[in-house]
A and B are shown apart, each in its own frame.
Chain A
Amino acid sequence: MTLGRLRRLEEAVAPTRLSTTLESLRPRTFLEFYGVAVIVVIVAAIAAAPLIAPDPLAQDLTSSLAGSSAEHWLGTDNLGRDLWARILYGGRVSVVIGVFVLLTAGAVGVLYGAVSGYAGGMVDAVMMRIVDIFLSFPSIMLALLISAALGPTIRNVIIAIAAAWWPVYARLIRGQVIVVKEREFVTASRALGAGPMRNLLLTVLPNSFGVMKTIFVLDIGYAILAGSTLGFLGLGVSAPTPEWGYMIREALQYPTHWWFILSPGLALMLFVSAINFAGGIVTRSVHEDPGR
């Protein structure tokens, strides 16, 4: 009633979209600033890794398990490799896993869920039962199984996690599509003669992403965590390639050398929590989006 109308009034006077979007994506709270800043610093550092760190694979057994020094800022691991370099290069693996898991699982899940929701009826029922089967396994178990079967490469880790995750997106987007497809502008588009493909891709889907945006951003963090979990369990990226999860696993054997375990752990925590804080911006912008 009234408040709805007041909201519309606010909308009526809002500026055009692009500037609105940029404006709403500006961090406002301290945590949001912090999150964005940390992400920017980390991404910049791992991008510039070859410039600011030595070779992460170069072994020097004479100085293994050394503490912090001018040569090795964070010290070295059990094989005398520079930890600073390994953290940075390991970050690259994490970012690749995070982004590609999201892209893969997102693309598959969104397409699957959208088709299921838009088609409705029997098609929807069958497609959703398949999703239910996937969801009935704990996702980390599923990822472990797939990863173990495929073998330890970055590509396989991405496939394994994505395979465990897409059903969640399929579910989510299906729910949105079912709501949106009944909205009047979709009927209007149908009355104009738009076919189902056009309707789904150009009219329904763009209006179904609201919630997904938030979840996508937060899930990048969780995908990184999942990748590290696989690494920690020895089913992630294979040995010489630096990877945070696997580094923690290695470090566990040397509990007295605290910096060894602390640096990958801290890196993981900093990065994932920063993504979480920054995710708040997206949540807010989705909330404030008048066209949502």
Chain B
Amino acid sequence: MSAGSHDAKALVEVEDLRVWFPTRRAPTAERRGYIKAVDGVAFTVRQGETLGLVGESGCGKTTTARAILKLLEPTEGRIMFDGVDLSTVSGRDLRLLRRRMQPVFQDPFASLNPKRTVARIVAEPLAIHRQGTRAQRRERVAELLDTVGLPPDAAGRFPHAFSGGQRQRIAIARAMALRPDLIVADEPVSSLDVSIRAQILNLMSDLQQEFRLTYVVIAHDLALVRQVTDRVAVMYLGNIVELRSTEDLYRRPLHPYTVALLSAVPIPDTEAEATRQRIVLEGDVPSPADPPSGCRFHTRCWLRRKLDNPDICSGETPPLTPIEDGGGAVACHFPDEVRTSSERRETLVTIGSR
């Protein structure tokens, strides 16, 4: 989607965000247990850009998105939206703030109230915020349906009368009703048919250009992320391990986890598939209730094995450090070793990144 200029001002600033979910209640702090879904995440979203959040399930990307939307409260840290600290707003101010940021969910079969007509679903935000008369709302609904490419007679029907792609259009129309600044889309196309995905992605891109929208897009499909984002934050076990411009990430990845993700992408090409060498990550993502010490990725890291298990990986948490040449940041003790590794070279050749 449209590239946000680099000096654009920050719309969302996330500072040291932690979201812990209690698993065991106990009177003393030591005995309490937590799922550390997000554990110290910091990034900004610039006005007009599309930021991608990627990572395996359980890495905390959805939790981060929900915290930005103030659908759940951070355990620690701060989220600023256009200069306002989200934790300080409530009541009327919060409702005004909600108008400016809207979610689009993964499954349009779940995110639309099945008991309401499309007209009422799309007009709901207007009704909640008491905008316009009934007639004006009806007009606005017609306008919105047209914007997202649905026929006017859709208004009187119920969600179940529509296919997945059309439903996602309805959800987008609802999100657009209050003319928001920010849209947080959690896997907006992964439940849709392959032949429909491109339609929705193009629609989102058109809307971004027309209404100067800022997007935070969560996706697991790395090919898709390359097409739609300007910058990408790669998350692993509640941390950001690499934060780069999209082009840099796909051409010059610097975290072993990013390289592993890229190397796992299935490629619709028989020749590439036949010859490729995949980096196999051993085992599963460890439990966020009891994350590994030091670098959280060290238990599965191919580079650590290759470097003969240096102590620093399990002993010290690598901070997210700015990269000297070029923008972005990476949280790895050995970014230079990643840069020169044959694994990275092979992966980039396989995915044909250019």
Instruction: Spell out A's residues near B (CB within 8 Å).
Output: 8, 11-17, 183-185, 187-194, 198, 203, 206-207, 290-292
Contacts and interface: CB of A to CB of B under 8 A. Distances in A.
Contacts of A183: 110
A191 B103 contact: yes
B158 A17 contact: yes
19 contacts: A8-B164, A14-B160, A14-B161, A185-B110, A187-B103, A188-B171, A188-B174, A191-B69, A191-B71, A191-B98, A191-B103, A192-B102, A192-B124, A192-B174, A192-B178, A206-B115, A207-B115, A290-B114, A291-B160
B256 interface: no
B279 to A, nearest CB: 30
Contacts of B171: 188
B134 interface: no
B161 A12 contact: yes
Contact count band on B: 35 or more
Nearest to A198: B128
B159 to A, nearest CB: 7
B113 A190 contact: no
B43 to A, nearest CB: 21
B107 interface: yes
Contact of B113 (A12, A13, A14, A203): A203
Given A191-B71, A192-B125, A193-B94, A185 B160 contact: no
A187 B184 CA distance: 13
A192 B161 contact: no
B163 A12 contact: yes
A12 B105 contact: no
B124 A15 contact: no
B169 to A, nearest CB: 14
B157 A16 contact: yes
B341 interface: no
Interface in B139-182: 156-164, 171, 174, 178
A193 B98 contact: yes
Given A193-B94, A193-B98, A198-B128, A207 B113 contact: yes
B251 interface: no
Interface of B is mostly: loop
Contacts of B110: 183-185
B345 interface: no
Interface string B229-265: 0000000000000000000000000000000000000
A194 B178 CA distance: 13
B129 A193 contact: yes
A188 B116 CA distance: 14
A204 B225 CA distance: 34
A193 B161 contact: no
B154 to A, nearest CB: 11
B114 A292 contact: yes
A196 to B, nearest CB: 12
B305 interface: no
Nearest to A292: B114
A14 B160 CA distance: 7
Given A12-B162, A193-B94, A184 B115 contact: no
A15 B161 CA distance: 7
The 10 closest A-B pairs by CB, nearest first: A291-B114, A193-B98, A193-B95, A184-B110, A11-B160, A290-B160, A184-B111, A185-B113, A206-B115, A192-B125
Given A14-B161, A185-B111, A291-B158, A193 B103 contact: no
A17 B156 CA distance: 10
B103 A188 contact: yes
Contacts of A11: 160-161
Nearest to B166: A12
B114 A189 contact: no
Contact of B160 (A12, A190, A203): A12
A159 to B, nearest CB: 32
B114 A8 contact: no
Nearest to B178: A192
Nearest to B177: A192
A202 to B, nearest CB: 9
A15 B162 CA distance: 10
B109 interface: yes
Contact of A16 (B98, B109, B113, B156): B156
B102 A185 contact: no
Interface string B104-131: 0101011111110100000011001100
B102 to A, nearest CB: 7
A206 B103 CA distance: 23
B126 to A, nearest CB: 10
Contacts of B113: 185, 189, 203, 206-207
Given A188-B111, A192-B98, A198-B128, A291 B71 contact: no
Contacts of B103: 187-188, 191
A291 B116 CA distance: 9
A195 to B, nearest CB: 8
B197 interface: no
Nearest to B112: A185
A11 B103 CA distance: 25
Given A14-B161, A15-B161, A184-B105, 13 more contacts: A8-B164, A12-B160, A16-B157, A185-B110, A187-B71, A188-B111, A188-B112, A189-B124, A191-B71, A192-B102, A193-B98, A193-B129, A291-B115
A290 B158 CA distance: 10
A16 B158 contact: yes
B99 interface: yes
Nearest to B70: A191
Most buried by B among A11, A12, A17, A192: A192
Contacts of A14: 160-161
B179 to A, nearest CB: 13
Nearest to A8: B109
